[in-house]
Structure 1
Amino acid sequence: MVPSAASATHVTEHVITVGAAPETVYGLVADVSAWPQVFGPTVHAEVVEPADPRTGGEELIRIWATANGQVRTWTSRRTLDPQARTIRFRQVVSADPVASMGGEWRVDTVEGGTTRVVLLHDYRAVNDDPEAVRQIERAVDHNSRAELAALRNAAELGADRDELHFTFRDSLTVNGSAQDVYEFLDRADLWPERLPHVARLALTEDEPGIQHMDMDTRSPDGSAHNTTSIRVTFPERRTIVYKQLRVPVAMSGHTGRWEIEPQGDGTVLATSWHTVTLDPEGVRSALGPQATLAEARALVRKTLGTNSSTTLRHAKQFAEERHAAS
């Protein structure tokens, strides 16, 4: 639908003070690839056309984020100015009911060694529909407050963030079709029949390529764990990315992706990636007051890696049996 020429522009401003250096805060806003770990509403974000990280300039990004309980995706063009520590953004392709949206991040030094962050938005609703305006206003207000609070939490971790934040992977070589491996991972609704550690899984789709997953898994000790995630699938890349919405108490964030890459020798490399941010208070609550971050990292690595490796082994078996039968 095309907005009318008389559509009203609505403007919002959200502000927060952060106890961290402005360079640290600006860096977190500028690094789109880290947004799913920093910002709760962001499920996945990627740079389509990058800007120079030192001098700034224009870049094109694509974002998948939750708004009013649904996953929305849009493309934005950003103008980064590292010297002024400002980032202007404008959606190139908006998702209904948004007709247009843009805004600006401003990161300023204030007295006392703290940083003031201002997040501005301007938007128009499709056909100026009053209910759409209210819906957009609620989403912008909720997400802006959540993003600024999360930005403050991440920035104030300081040097500890490098210890709390880590990424790891597990890989298997498959003598089969990349498409068959992808199919196994994509059809998560069949995992209870195919994977021994999955007791129950409910899978729904808002639209093709955006999946909501509610899963119960069994641990080796017999205990059950429930996780809810949003997955974004890219069949043409044979890649699936996901964000866990409800994380264990020891974590503050968990994202991951499945990648299937054909190799030059006719085999396929299937890889599971995990990125985790630990919650120091949650670690002490879950593992005891004397628990160290190193112990928590090792436990998380083992737990997530075991489940991922099990899934990869069964995907490998599925693809190789199909290949042998063809």
Structure 2
Amino acid sequence: MAHPVTHHTEHAITVAAGARRVFGLIVDIGRWPETFPPTVHAEHVERGETEERIRIWATANGEVKTWTSHRLLDREGLGVRFRQEVSQPPVAAMGGEWIVEPLSATESRVRLLHDFRAVDDDPEKTAWIRRAIDHNSAAELAALRTAAEQAETRAELVLTFADTVEFTGDVKAAYAFVDEAGRWPERLPHVARAALSEETPGVQTLEMETRTADGSSHTTRSVRICFPHERIVYKQLVTPALMTAHTGAWLFREHGEGEEPGGSVTSVHTVVLNEEAVTEVLGPDATVADARAFVRGALSRNSTVTMEHAVAHARRDGD
């Protein structure tokens, strides 16, 4: 019986930034969704100083895949080895390594290695995986270079904020309101159109047309990962012109024992502004500070309206 074939790839890029800054971005998976285009959501399952397990949801050739990886962090050698514990078809097995090589105090070389096997050694599956690796690796390395080289200016372009609504009522009903985003056009005044699909339980794709305060509208497309009755995290794959990235979460909390029945819902946003679009969207005299205020105001208004309607739905459900 023939042994399964293991394939190898290598992608690399030179970055005009110090090696430790670059390495820090690779290690910090909490920033991956806002930094790396393919990553929808990433979180720690187990975490240690040099060893960890992480779960990742990411796009590959237009599909959303999820897996858990074991990672070994070489903080002195500036390397991260990874191995998928359970892979999703058409991947039978995959692993690899991030290697950051200092070229000078202000320049680094980043190598991203992969080894993989396809299910049944099928040539079409092998080609599918190689295409996904080539596309995602190129996108990740380019985004890593941008984030590392623009670290100082990028700080002004990134904003994270949250709004919370406390309520009495059924928290599960509030969660259901947000989960059922396909019904938002009939339930929310700022949503003109919504198309929701969920081919894999808990993984949703939402395309939505949102009305803005000035009467115009914009269309977004998001992937949403649902953790029933606790949280829904999402990433916009198609964003408005004023943003280069937008991730967020809906968080649901029940009151503790002895408290009044009910809980809270929180909307969290992380946005990376598109500096080049600021004057085009907001006018010739607009600044990044104006864009920050505009985006926060618009997203907070829409999120708060959504939460208030979810809370009203929860109260009715609890009556």
One fold, TM greater than 0.5? Answer: yes
Please give the per-residue CA displacement for 1:274-313, whole angstroms capped at 9, x wherever unaligned.
Answer: 0011122122332244322211110000011111000001
Question: Superposition pairs for residues 229-248 of structure 1, below 5 Å?
Answer: 229-235=222-228, 238-248=230-240
SS at match of 1:84: coil
Q: Runs of 5+ in structure 2 lacking a partner?
A: none
Q: Which residue of 2 aligns with 1:62?
A: 55
CA RMSD in angstroms comes to 1.3
Identity fraction in percent? 53
Q: Which residue of 2 aligns with 1:225?
A: 218
SS at match of 2:151: coil
Q: Name the CA shift for 1:106/1:64 in 2 (closer, same or farther; >3 Å).
A: same
The structural deviation recorded for 1:5 is 6.2
TM-score (norm 2): 0.96
Q: Which whole-Å CA distance do the structure 1 matches of 2:245 and 2:51 have between them?
A: 29
1:50 maps to 2:43: no
Residue number among 288, 297, 303 corresponding to 1:302 in the alignment = 297
TM-score (norm 1): 0.94
Q: Which residue of 1 aligns with 2:141?
A: 148
- The size of the alignment, in residue pairs, is 316
Residue number among 23, 26, 33 corresponding to 1:26 in the alignment = 23
Please give the per-residue CA displacement for 1:28-70, whole angstroms capped at 9, x wherever unaligned.
Answer: 1001111000000101110110122xxxx11000000000110
Q: Which residue of 2 aligns with 1:275?
A: 270
1:251 maps to 2:243: yes
Residue number among 284, 287, 290 corresponding to 2:282 in the alignment = 287
Q: Which residue of 1 aligns with 2:110?
A: 117
SS at match of 2:9: strand
SS at match of 2:213: coil
1:40 maps to 2:37: yes
SS at match of 1:83: coil
The structural deviation recorded for 1:220 is 2.1
Q: Runs of 5+ in structure 1 lacking a partner?
A: none
The structural deviation recorded for 1:71 is 0.2
Contact 2:18 2:104 in 1 (8 A): no
SS at match of 2:124: helix
The structural deviation recorded for 1:218 is 1.1
Of stretches 264-273 and 77-86 in structure 1, the one that deviates more from structure 2 is 264-273
Contact 1:71 1:206 in 2 (8 A): no
1:106 maps to 2:99: yes
Residue number among 195, 198, 201 corresponding to 2:194 in the alignment = 201
Residue number among 130, 154, 163 corresponding to 1:161 in the alignment = 154
Q: Which whole-Å CA distance do the structure 2 matches of 1:110 and 1:34 have between them?
A: 25
1:9 maps to 2:6: yes
Contact 1:70 1:206 in 2 (8 A): no
Of stretches 150-159 and 88-97 in structure 1, the one that deviates more from structure 2 is 150-159
Of stretches 81-90 and 213-222 in structure 1, the one that deviates more from structure 2 is 213-222
Of stretches 156-165 and 300-309 in structure 1, the one that deviates more from structure 2 is 156-165
